[in-house]
Amino acid sequence: MASKTRKVLQPQYVGRFQCTGSACEDSCCVGWHVAIDKETYRIYRDCPDMELRLKMGKKVTRNRSTASDTDYAKIKLNDDGGCPFLDQDRMCSVQRKLGEQFLSVTCTTYPRISTTVNGSLEKTLTFSCPEAARLALLNPARMEFDEIEEDNHVRNFINRDPLDTEDKKVAHKPQKYFWELRIFIITLLQDRSYPIWQRLVILGFFCARLSELENGGRVHEIPQAINTYQKRVAEGMYREELQTVPNNLLIQMELLTELISQRMFAGVNHKGFMDCFAEFSSGINHTEEAMVEKLIEGYDSAYTKYYQPFMEQHEHVLENYIVNSIFKNLFPFSGEKNIFDNYAMLIIHYAMIKMLLIGISGFHKENFAIDHVLKTIQSFTKVIEHENTYLAAVFKFIKDNDLNNMPYMAALIKN
Ligand code: SF4
């Protein structure tokens, strides 16, 4: 008889997640596209509650051009950006009146994001949800993972193609060694005998080596490469070389402000992110007339006086952010064809968050606190990480300008 449950691998914080509902400071029912899957759209046409059926008829509209079974229709938001099904208590009237089974896949599953590896389900939460960000980022302990049993009826939002390390198609590809790579990479990123910037630079060296082996048709040497890096990291053999990594604040300021400005020009209606960007600008003394040298001075001063002393006590926040991203995106196979390009996109995310936080620390000075860090990462995730079109443009910019190389990435990482 078929099992009624299935195994799910997930970070431990996922099991502790509870939506905060009407108390949520940045509800997922406000301010962004709510996709309705085909099955739910069909059910809403015959909704048993007449008042809701009338509203669904007006407010749930088909995607004529780009419809897919998971993104078949959408909810037309109110002028204030809120979902029209939110009631006066800021709770979902569909769920309250009809129950969870009448919610769409998006509304049921958010902030959970699922993938499958070798046919097994994996689940993480996106940090665009403030409660998910709090649970994962504030835990000073290293992120740990559990394999739990889940009822087969639980709905999941699978956001990418499955990864199968035993598939013949990857027999001569790095994906064959996914598990060995994942375990080494997460162990490296949780090795607190190195500051986070050094872990990220070592990861860059390693990803460059993986791309070299892949491009050279020597994928079978990956297990040996992992052993070599494990040994060198354990014996501290990179420490001397890491001390010679130069910082280049001009590159950071020029590239990262350009990338964030591109996102702002594309239109941001998220108050939290706008606040963060305004505090960042003010924190580095940005004015229309300010020369880049003046900005770098403000940026470097904020880093030295406020950001670095604070983050030295809270580096686990950035570690948890990166480890969650590595696990969620099946890194180093997280979307781009080339492994080093996936590394470059990971560093771009990290560097943009770091730059914003440095400016914001300069704005709040001694009062710079963990809530500022949480708000920045949460609103950054909502405004940047869910914007695939923007991220594709960022990647093209990096490629077209030949910025996807180790010296450039190191310049973005080190302050
Ligand atoms: S963002 Fe998270 S905590 Fe807030 S309403 Fe949505 S699921 Fe709940």
**How far is ligand 1, taken at its centre, from the CA of residue 112, in Å?**
11
Residue whose CA is at the smallest distance from ligand 1 atom 5:
27
**How far is ligand 1, taken at its centre, from the CA of residue 20, in Å?**
6
Count of all residues that appear for the chain in the document: 415
Would you state the pLDDT for residue 67? 73
Alpha helices, H only, 128-195: 130-137, 178-189
User: What contacts 140, CB < 8 A, 6 or more positions away?
Assistant: 316
Residue 230 banded pLDDT, cuts 50, 70, 90: very high
**How far is ligand 1, taken at its centre, from the CA of residue 340, in Å?**
34
Is residue 15 within 8 A of residue 148, CB to CB? The reply is yes
Q: Give the pLDDT confidence of 31-66 residue by residue, as tens digits.
A: 888 899 999 999 999 999 999 999 999 999 998 776
Contacts 24+ apart (CB under 8 A), 385-388: 385/126, 385/128, 385/349, 386/32, 386/126, 386/128, 387/263, 387/266
Which is it for strands 120-125 and 112-117: parallel, antiparallel or unpaired?
Answer: antiparallel
Would you state the pLDDT for residue 337? 86
**How far is ligand 1, taken at its centre, from the CA of residue 26, in Å?**
7
Average of per-residue pLDDT values in the chain: 94
Contacts 24+ apart (CB under 8 A), 49-57: 49/97, 49/98, 52/85, 52/93, 52/94, 52/97, 52/98, 55/84, 55/85
Whose tokens are 């943009």? That residue is 352
What average pLDDT score do residues 88-103 get? Answer: 93
Residue whose CA is at the smallest distance from ligand 1 atom 2:
129
Pocket test for ligand 1, best of 13, 14, 20 (most atoms within 8 A of CB): 20
**Rg, C-alpha atoms of the chain:** 22
For helices 406-413 and 249-265, the axis angle rounded to 10 degrees is 90
Nearest to 111 by CA among 94, 134, 142: 134
**How far is ligand 1, taken at its centre, from the CA of residue 158, in Å?**
19
Residues 328, 126: Cα–Cα separation, whole Å: 9
- The ligand 1 site (C-beta within 6 Å) comprises 19-20, 24, 27-28, 110-111, 129, 131
Residue whose CA is at the smallest distance from ligand 1 atom 6:
28
Pocket test for ligand 1, best of 17, 18, 104, 110 (most atoms within 8 A of CB): 110
Share of the chain above pLDDT 70, in %: 100
**How far is ligand 1, taken at its centre, from the CA of residue 23, in Å?**
9
Residue whose CA is at the smallest distance from ligand 1 atom 8:
19
Residues 31, 127: Cα–Cα separation, whole Å: 16
For the chain, domain boundaries: 5-151, 168-241, 245-413
245: DSSP letter: P
Residue 2 clears pLDDT 80, i.e. is over it? no
Tokens representing 187?
A: 């162990």
Would you state the pLDDT for residue 1? 65
**pTM listed for this prediction:** 0.95
What average pLDDT score do residues 247-264 get? Answer: 88
Residue 378 clears pLDDT 70, i.e. is over it? yes
Tokens representing 247?
A: 């910082």
**Distance from first CA to last CA of the chain, Å, rounded?**
58
Across 117-121, 223-227, 259-263, 349-353, least confident range: 259-263
**How far is ligand 1, taken at its centre, from the CA of residue 22, in Å?**
9
